[in-house]
């Protein structure tokens, strides 16, 4: 299984080489146009996720609140923690610039938190 969160379409050729036949590709960043032909010959299962899918489709809207409540409970109890690798103190233009530069470097792993 490959879990891809960034650059899936751009990296699909090497992802296809990595996956075994009947493997699974789970991606959260697929946007049209998306050419799945590199993985079709291996009968790979493609799993996608879109945060607003339930809202857009009007599907089981109450369950979205249930999911958010569960996440809040787990964060509150310490069972779920975000991956914070950089903390910047003060909501300033300089800190926002630093945060953007870190993200644009494409070398940032985890989350940047700016504490007001």
pLDDT tens digits, 55-104: 888 888 888 888 889 999 998 999 988 788 999 999 999 999 999 999 99
Peptide bond into 20 cis (omega under 30): no
Question: Quick one: pLDDT at residue 100?
Answer: 95
pTM: 0.58
Taking a C-beta distance cutoff of 8 angstroms, is the pair 15, 4 a contact?
yes
Domain boundaries along the sequence of the chain: 1-49, 53-81, 84-115
Q: Which residues contact 81 (CB under 8 A, 6 or more apart)?
A: 75
**Residue linked to tokens 């959260």:** 28
């Amino acid at each position: 299984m490959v879990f891809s969160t960034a650059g899936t379409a751009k990296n699909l050729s090497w992802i296809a080489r990595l996956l075994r036949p009947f493997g699974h590709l789970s991606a959260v960043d697929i946007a049209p146009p998306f050419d799945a032909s590199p993985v079709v010959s291996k009968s790979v299962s493609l799993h996608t996720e879109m945060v607003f899918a339930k809202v857009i489709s009007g599907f089981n809207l109450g369950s979205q609140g249930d999911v958010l409540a569960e996440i809040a409970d787990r964060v509150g109890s310490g069972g779920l923690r975000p991956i914070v690798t950089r903390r910047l103190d003060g909501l300033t233009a300089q800190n926002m610039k630093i945060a953007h530069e870190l993200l644009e470097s494409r070398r940032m792993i985890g989350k940047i938190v700016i504490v007001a």
